[in-house]
């Protein structure tokens, strides 16, 4: 069943430019920011105006459109050479989510086979919109596949835990893990979502709770450290999370704290589901050890909204992603199908199918 609920948008192409909903201001304010040039797009990705792996990829694709339009105006015949600087700047904006590099690769493919009869900007915009729409469609497919998996195993307990924000704000719309949760809730498979607040950036409390409450899906916020207790109390059947990069052996990089949940889930016999489109797989990386993990400034740990929470001169370590080994994952749900007990072989066959299309 395709969910019909219209969810919030984080990314819009309107009035010939890119608009992003400023996720730093949510849930208190809904501010939209327009993007006249590459620098603005790079800043928005780096500073988390937009965040979430698929959303970053879609944003970068629109960023290439804006960059190409500016380069055509400024650099004339040399525009393509000049544009490589924009690709480089966009690629430097954040390191872990591979969807960013995947989307830049898709845009590069269009550039390498431009139709000389048509405006290049029109051709690039068509591709950016296709990437955006394909992500939304993939989310709905994953929502159905993930909900079917939940139905298949039955739910001994009525709750699920999710981490970070994987909803409409993090994607082309609807969501990856949150898309599965939306579909499963519509099918009456889930009664309650426990959303980790997701320190240090609070994606769970500021974004996931906001999205779920807009949809009327029952959500309870918890501190990240409550997950073990919820499992011990027998209140959850699944942990359902997204991914920023999946290595060829099925190891998954996702928001810091995901690995903790996977270890806890294994101990308590709770199932662990990762939901991600195939654009999140990186077959050039054989295992999670080689996934680049972003470290952000310590002030995100030491302060909350500019208010100091630690002694002056205290040191902070702020890796914002971790790697969950494939052995701890029960299923990876993609738009091409579900892999249970992921391994190098099952990832390879899933991705081989993808290359046929």
* Distance in Å, CB of 54 to ligand MRU, minimum: 5
- In this structure, the number of other CB atoms found within 10 A of the CB of residue 295 comes to 12
Identify the helix (H) or strand (E) that includes residue 19.
strand 17-21
Site size for ligand MRU (CB under 6 A): 17
Catalytic residue list contains 224: no
Q: Taking phi first (over 0 means left), then psi (-120 to 50 degrees means alpha), and beta for anything else, what does residue 15 get?
A: left
- C-beta of 79 vs 224, nearer to ligand MRU: 224
CA angle 160, 162, 168 (to 5 degrees): 120
Tell me the β-bridge partners of 196.
Answer: 222
CB of 155 to ligand MRU, least distance (A): 22
Binding ligand MRU (rule: CB under 6 A), the pick from 44, 166, 278, 279 is 166
* Residue 334 binds ligand MRU, judged by CB under 6 A: no
Is the preceding peptide bond at 173 cis, omega within 30 degrees of 0? Answer: no
Nearest to 354 by CA among 343, 341, 339, 112: 339
CA 157, CA 234: separation in Å to the nearest integer?
A: 6
Rounded CA separation 10/3 (Å): 19
With CB under 6 A as the contact rule, which of the stretches 28-36, 50-58, 61-69, 335-343 interacts with ligand MRU? 50-58
The correct pick among 7, 11, 35, 52 for binding ligand MRU (CB under 6 A) is 52
Check 196, 215, 244, 330 and give the catalytic one: 244
3-state secondary structure of 324: strand
Per-residue interface string for the shown chain with ligand MRU, residues 228-267, x marking contact by CB under 6 A:
--------------xxx---------xx------------
Site map for ligand MRU, 5-34, x if CB under 6 A? Answer: ------------------------------
**313: region left, alpha or beta (phi > 0 left; psi from -120 to 50 alpha):** left
Q: Does 140 bind ligand MRU (CB under 6 A)?
A: no
- Smallest separation (angstroms) from ligand MRU to the CB of 288: 14
CB atoms within 10 A of CB 7: 21
Is residue 170 near ligand MRU by the rule CB under 6 A? Answer: yes
Of 7-15, 57-65, 75-83, 168-176, the segment contacting ligand MRU by CB under 6 A is 168-176
Q: Per rule CB under 6 A, is residue 176 in the interface with ligand MRU?
A: yes
Element (H, E) at 175: none
Residue with tokens 């890796």: 319
Residues of this chain that interact with ligand MRU (CB under 6 A) are 51-54, 97, 164, 166, 170-171, 176, 203, 242-244, 254-255, 320
Among all residues, which ones are annotated catalytic? 244
């Amino acid at each position: 069943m395709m969910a019909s609920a219209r969810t919030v948008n984080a990314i819009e192409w309107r009035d010939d430019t890119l608009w992003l909903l400023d996720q730093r201001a949510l849930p208190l304010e809904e501010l939209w920011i327009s993007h006249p040039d590459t620098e603005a797009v790079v800043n928005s990705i780096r500073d988390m105006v937009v965040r979430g792996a698929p959303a970053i990829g879609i944003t970068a694709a629109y960023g290439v459109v804006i960059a190409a339009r500016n380069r055509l105006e400024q650099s004339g015949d040399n525009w393509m050479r000049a544009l490589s600087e924009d690709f480089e700047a966009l690629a430097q904006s954040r390191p872990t989510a591979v969807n960013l590099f995947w989307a830049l690769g898709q845009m590069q493919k269009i550039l390498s086979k431009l139709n000389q009869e048509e405006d290049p900007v029109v051709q690039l915009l068509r591709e950016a919109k296709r990437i955006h729409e394909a992500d939304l469609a993939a989310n709905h497919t994953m929502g159905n596949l993930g909900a079917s998996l939940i139905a298949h195993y039955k739910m001994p307990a009525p709750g699920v835990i999710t981490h970070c924000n994987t909803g409409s704000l993090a994607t082309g719309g609807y969501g990856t893990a949150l898309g599965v949760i939306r579909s499963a809730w519509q099918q009456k498979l889930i009664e309650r979502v426990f959303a980790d607040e997701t320190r240090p950036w609070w994606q769970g409390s500021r974004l996931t709770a906001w999205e779920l409450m807009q949809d009327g899906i029952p959500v309870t916020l918890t501190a990240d450290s409550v997950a073990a207790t919820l499992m011990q109390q027998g209140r959850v059947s699944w942990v359902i999370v997204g991914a920023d990069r999946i290595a060829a052996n099925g190891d998954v990089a996702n928001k810091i704290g995901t690995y903790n949940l996977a270890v806890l889930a294994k101990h308590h016999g709770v199932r662990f589901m990762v939901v991600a489109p195939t654009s999140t797989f990186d077959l050039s990386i054989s295992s999670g050890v080689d996934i680049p993990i972003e470290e952000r400034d310590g002030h995100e740990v030491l302060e909350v909204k500019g208010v100091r929470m630690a002694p002056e001169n205290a040191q902070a370590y702020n890796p914002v992603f971790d790697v969950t080994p494939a052995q701890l994952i029960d299923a990876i749900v993609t738009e091409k199908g579900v892999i249970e007990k992921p391994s190098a072989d099952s990832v390879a066959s899933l991705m081989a199918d993808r290359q046929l299309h």
